[in-house]
Amino acid sequence: MIDEILFMEARLLRLFCERFQIDQLEANRLFNQYGIWDYIERCYDYFHTCGDDYIVDDITEVLQAKGAAL
């Protein structure tokens, strides 16, 4: 299951970068700072049943709620 989570994390990072036109290093910094990697892992069982756009929207909402400037 670890491989599946890592695959999802890599896919979501790429999609997040495309949406916000930022590089992967900046997105990774945000994900680390605001606990998004842990959030994806905790929610994997739910997220794997959702579409990627929904998940990126959810991640965006979490980041904004935590005060991240996007």
How far is residue 55's CA from residue 66's CA, in Å, rounded to a whole number? 17
- For helices 2-20 and 24-33, give the axis angle rounded to 10 degrees: 120
pTM of the model: 0.92
Read off the pLDDT of residues 12-24 as tens digits, 9 standing for 90 and up. 999 999 999 999 9
Read off the pLDDT of residues 52-64 as tens digits, 9 standing for 90 and up. 999 999 999 999 9
In 1-70 the beta strands, taken as DSSP E runs, fall at none
